A and B are shown apart, each in its own frame.
Chain A
Amino acid sequence: MSEFLLSGLLNGLAVGSIYALIALGFALLYKSTKILNLAHGELVLFGGYLAIALTRAVPFPVAVVLTLLAAAVLGFTVERVIMRPLFGQPLLSVIIVTLALGYVVRGLMVGIWGGSTRNFPQVLPGGIVRVAGIPIQPAGVYSAVTAACLLLGFWLFFRYSLVGIAMRAAANDQLTASTLGVSLRRVFAYAWAFASIAGAVGGILLGLWLGVNFALGFVGLKALAAVILGGLDSIPGAILGGVTIGIIETIAGGYIDANIIYGFKDITAFVVILLVLLVRPYGLFGTEHVERL
């Protein structure tokens, strides 16, 4: 049992770090644009599929770089063509537009790559590694390490780069930031590009591990769940939310699935979130918005 727990913890941590990365993109976009992106899952898929397709033609690292570039371009384009005209429009209208965007991206992908599961050619060493005596797939280890590095990279970027600082300012208060000379357009464009890059990396990592298929689009909802669990306005919360969901899902879901009833894995996370929200309505690290009367 304790070995089961430990293995669940490690595997969960690995999946969770990918979720965290995806959730980070999601939260970043929300924080700086106040847009809830229901197409995020499709952006993840896009990264996975494109990288797999490119790997047939060019070496894996090149494929990854090209994929990230493509993701950034996609993000910029979406912001420029679709989101900018909707600036200041009602929240729900904008959310539904992102949903429709998801349909379009998904349709394009099915049209180009078909609907079946795709796998990367063998780019990582096969076999099983042991961490603290627990067997785990190498892809899991790579994923966790890559996600951790990227999270660190993002953090440094927002802490020290000019664009990052502008984005944080805008996230704090759009109006004040724009009167201080921060270009909101630039910030929004970057936010979309980053969200889309973070999603694509998540897609590649998940793809290396599990292969890419359309059921994976569901991770968009999981990212949303992770962000809510952590608290919408907290980036560290989103990361922690992602890791937590990965772990819970692997341990509790795996245990219940194996021993009690099948099909519970995907909803465990949501049950936990529901319980957390009942106690903390603003997530684990979110702050309550207090109205001064």
Chain B
Amino acid sequence: MSVRPAGDFKTSYVQDMAILDTRLYRLGFAMLVAGLLLAPWWAGRFIFLLNTIGIYAVGACGLGLLTGFTGQISLGHAAFMAIGAYSSAFLSQALRFPFLIALPVTSLITFLFGVVVGLPSLRIKGLYLAIATLAFQFLTEYALIHATGGIGSTTVPPIVIGGWTVRTDRQFYYIVLVVWLAAGAFAANLVRSRIGLAFMAVRDRDYAAQVLGLDLLYYKALAFGIAAGYAGIAGSLWAHYNRLITTEQFNIGASIDYVAMIVIGGLTSAWGPHLGSAFVWSLSQGLQIFTPAVLAVFPAFGKIATPLREIVFGVTLIALLIWEPGGLAMLLRKLKRKLDLWPFAY
């Protein structure tokens, strides 16, 4: 009979600080990545769903750092995504920047916007800050409509990398996947590094962060900048994916969706934004498939198909958050704890 250690034992600090800290996690993650790499073979026409999830997960990662880890509520995240999308469109359309240059430049541009927007957060706090960012959201939409001559929409060329033009959803998927994994890893690393510690200190008690020598203005502006940088990358991907962007794609509704995603996923977990994006988009896609199926059986529901979707979506969110206010990441953590200890209760 072999004896299984109850839990994992770590023998060095490096091991202890690893992101995937148990064998179970590492195995699960490897399988996840393998599954994602092979997605074009199993996802069929839902590859577009994976693209959407990936792009929004990147954006949500940024908001997760800002709101979940630094405690600054933003209702203007989609505005940064918009700035990213339109900058990227401009860079590749008008200036003929190749994608591999346009992407980092876009993210730098939005980073700078984020820093500027973040500056007032030293004085404007909490819900007041949320409303200030909401004002930024409206102003951005407004400015973009007028910057595009009143129409608000613009076309975007496809991605070209060294002579290879990305045309299909499947090809685009690999671009999204690479960026998604890199962005996710970067965020997870930030969280466990000194930057993450500083962010959490600012979030939990700002004056106690100051006595440790942390400059609140620097870290808040940095968090805004990083969040906006992420949103910019998401916006750039989104622009090249859809090839036609309008300001409505980045309206206040999208900003609120972002907040919903990180809350549903789990605010204080590096996995949260990914889980949240996957959950929200899969649910809404699932409902879109499900409702016609219901209608086929009960044609009488025809008139209420669209509202039904909204109702089910809302009810699911409410039920999930009442069940576990810490979101999906917290659910998974509890599940993992049970698995670690199985078959004993403690």
Contacts and interface: CB of A to CB of B under 8 A. Distances in A.
Interface residues of B, number: 45
A104 B128 contact: no
A86 B321 contact: yes
Given A107-B309, A271-B139, A225 B131 contact: yes
A102 B260 CA distance: 13
A101 interface: yes
A270 B306 CA distance: 31
A232 B127 contact: yes
B322 A82 contact: yes
A96 B267 contact: no
Contact of A281 (B128, B139, B264, B307): B128
Most buried by A among B131, B207, B322: B131
B142 interface: yes
Contacts of B256: 38, 99
B151 interface: no
Contacts of A38: 256
Given A263-B142, A281-B124, A103 B134 contact: no
Interface string A62-101: 0000000000000000000010011001101111110111
A266 interface: yes
A182 interface: no
A283 interface: yes
A163 to B, nearest CB: 26
Contacts of A224: 131
Main secondary structure of the interface of A (DSSP, over half): helix
Interface range on chain A: under 10, 10 to 19, 20 to 34, or 35 or more? 35 or more
Contact of B131 (A89, A99, A277): A277
B342 interface: no
A76 B32 CA distance: 45
B131 A107 contact: no
A266 B138 contact: yes
Contacts of A134: none
Nearest to B122: A281
Contacts of A107: 307-311, 314
A79 B263 CA distance: 21
Interface string B32-68: 0000000000000000000000000000000000010
Nearest to A224: B131
A100 B318 contact: yes
A238 interface: no
Nearest to B256: A99
B185 to A, nearest CB: 25
A271 B135 contact: yes
Contacts of B254: none
B267 A92 contact: yes
Given A232-B128, A270-B135, A282-B128, A108 B307 contact: yes
Nearest to B211: A293
Contacts of A264: 142
Interface in B237-257: 252, 256
A14 interface: no
B321 A100 contact: yes
Contacts of B318: 82, 97, 100-101, 104
Interface string A252-284: 000000000101101100110110011001110
Contacts of A278: 120, 123-124
B142 A273 contact: no
B127 A93 contact: no
A221 to B, nearest CB: 7
B322 A104 contact: no
Contacts of B120: 277-278
B228 to A, nearest CB: 17
B125 interface: yes
Contacts of A261: 146
Nearest to A89: B325
Contact of B306 (A110, A273, A277): A110
Interface in B153-171: none
B315 interface: yes
B259 interface: yes
A129 to B, nearest CB: 34
A3 interface: no
A82 B304 CA distance: 24
Contacts of A93: 263, 267, 321, 325-327
A31 interface: no
Contacts of A126: none
B308 A293 contact: no
B135 A85 contact: no
Contacts of A171: none
A133 interface: no
B73 interface: yes
A109 B307 CA distance: 8
Given A104-B314, A282-B128, 17 more contacts: A82-B318, A90-B267, A93-B326, A97-B317, A97-B322, A99-B317, A104-B311, A108-B307, A109-B307, A111-B304, A114-B303, A221-B134, A225-B131, A228-B128, A232-B128, A263-B142, A270-B131
Interface of B: 67, 73, 120, 123-125, 127-128, 131-132, 134-136, 138-139, 142, 145-146, 207, 252, 256, 259-260, 263-264, 267, 303-304, 306-311, 313-318, 321-322, 325-327
Q: Which are the 5 A-B pairs with shortest beta-carbon distances?
A: A103-B314, A107-B310, A107-B311, A100-B317, A104-B314
8 contacts: A89-B321, A92-B67, A92-B263, A96-B321, A111-B307, A224-B131, A263-B142, A274-B136
Interface of A: 36, 38, 82, 85-86, 89-90, 92-97, 99-104, 106-111, 114, 221, 224-225, 228, 232, 261, 263-264, 266-267, 270-271, 273-274, 277-278, 281-283, 286, 291, 293
